[in-house]
Amino acid sequence: MATDALVVKDMIRDGMDGFTPAERRLADTLLQDYPVAGLQSITRLARAAEVSTPTVIRMARKLGFDGFPALQERLRQEVAEQIKQPLSKRDIWQARAADEHVLNQFAKAISANLRHTLDRLDAAMFDRVAALLADTARPVYLAGGRITRSNADYFFNHLQIIRPGVTLLSQSPNVWPQYLLDMDERSLLVIFDIRRYETDLLKLARLAHERGVTIILFTDQWGSPIGKLTGLGFNALVEAPSNWDSTISIMIVVEALIAQVQSTRWEDSRGRIDELESMFSETRLFRSPDRAPR
């Protein structure tokens, strides 16, 4: 599957305005249990959506497929991409561009990731998330996985300068319940979770959801299972010519949010930043007087 190819759920969402009422019911059924719903037989899918099998075929063709089998094949490719092991990822990328320098491979892949992510980013969603993060009546908690922990840490480092009430969860899931004790319906939980989605993060999200916490999810193009617990978040393309996925397209959204939150809270955050800079200056008193600054 090409790195800039749309996943089927994005194609469904894009085509929703052109669907008939029956096709919209079918689309809702596919999205509610994506991608599993689309991998069952056409008769089972039609029965689950309470539509006819010709409706399923017609919608598949509206999405640009020759028929339902072609749509299912794309879904199978997506599933295969989701569960791809790091070593197999490397083999595939090497086969695609064996004679091209790795810098060029990365530049092309990341450019495609950024283009896809920004083209599909919902500006209204962005503004809503930024407004929530700027609201100091809402405590913010952040968590990431084995790879995305660094994304959560970066976001935390900036947000906690701009506004109070920002907490980065420990790397150890064993102590997460202690953070949950302080979370309620006012709280925001920002979670980063990309493929080979992490069970611990899903458990955290479920417990937070039960407490009425608003979850903001940063995930990949296929979508973490945590997405079923929230309507807030961003899907970013993460493919790269490497054993590992790239989070650069996630970071561009994070940095834009940091800029927007700071702009919204500029008068208040300016005082915090000035106070912080003053503290940094004070720490110079503890340096050895005969040691020249570097």
Which pLDDT belongs to residue 23?
92
* Amino acid in the structure at residue 227: G
Q: What is the rounded average pLDDT of the residues 43-52?
A: 92
Q: First-to-last CA distance in the chain?
A: 50
Residues 38-75 as b/e (b if ≥16 CB within 10 A, e otherwise) read beeebeebbebbebeeebbbbbbeebebeebeebbebb
With contact defined as beta carbons under 8 Å apart, do 35 and 78 qualify?
Answer: yes
Name the DSSP letter for residue 6: P
Per-residue pLDDT, 106: 75
pLDDT value, residue 4: 42
pLDDT above 90 as % of the chain: 50
Predicted structure pTM score:
0.67
Is residue 158 predicted with pLDDT exceeding 70? yes
Radius of gyration of the chain (CA): 22
Confidence of residue 1 (pLDDT cuts 50, 70, 90): very low
Extract the tokens encoding 174: 């064993």
Confidence of residue 294 (pLDDT cuts 50, 70, 90): very low
Q: What is the pLDDT of residues 90-102, one digit of tens each?
A: 555 555 555 677 7
Q: What is the mean pLDDT of residues 275-283?
A: 72
Domains delineated in the chain:
8-82 (1.10.10.10), 119-279 (3.40.50.10490)
Q: Is 83's pLDDT higher than 70?
A: no
Spatial separation of the C-alpha atoms in residues 32 and 182, rounded to whole Å: 31
237-243: average pLDDT: 75
